[in-house]
Amino acid sequence: MSLKIKKFLPYSRQNIGKTDIKAILNVLNDDYLTQGPRIETFEKNFANYVGSKHAVACATGTAALHISLLALGITSYMFYAEYSGSFIFILFVN
């Protein structure tokens, strides 16, 4: 079986349009930069999009992995590694 790739999807290439820039400027000019009503709205919209009851926005991938592991009951002194593309992410929970 032969797999033909029609278009290469570059890793980490951004596609930022005028609508995105306007939304960013609105946040930068708002009273809340890192928390506030926009985060709650984002979490609700994301949960709805993926068909989940809840979603939690995290500042980093490591924080997201940590919360995920805690939700699964994986706690202290356990090891977790995730392979994604050409990167390996390792998280120690202690």
Please name the residue that has the structure tokens 């278009």.
7
Domain residues of the chain, as ranges?
A: 19-57, 60-94
Summarised one tens digit per residue, pLDDT across range 27-49 is 899 888 778 888 999 999 999 99
pLDDT of 20: 94
Helices (H) and strands (E) in the chain, counts: 3, 2
Give the global pTM. 0.58
Q: Where are the alpha helices (DSSP H) in 11-92?
A: 18-28, 37-50, 61-71
Summarised one tens digit per residue, pLDDT across range 52-89 is 999 999 988 878 877 887 888 877 655 555 555 555 55
The more confidently predicted of residues 32 and 18 is 18
As given in the structure block, the two tokens for residue 79 are 């090891």
pLDDT of 94: 46
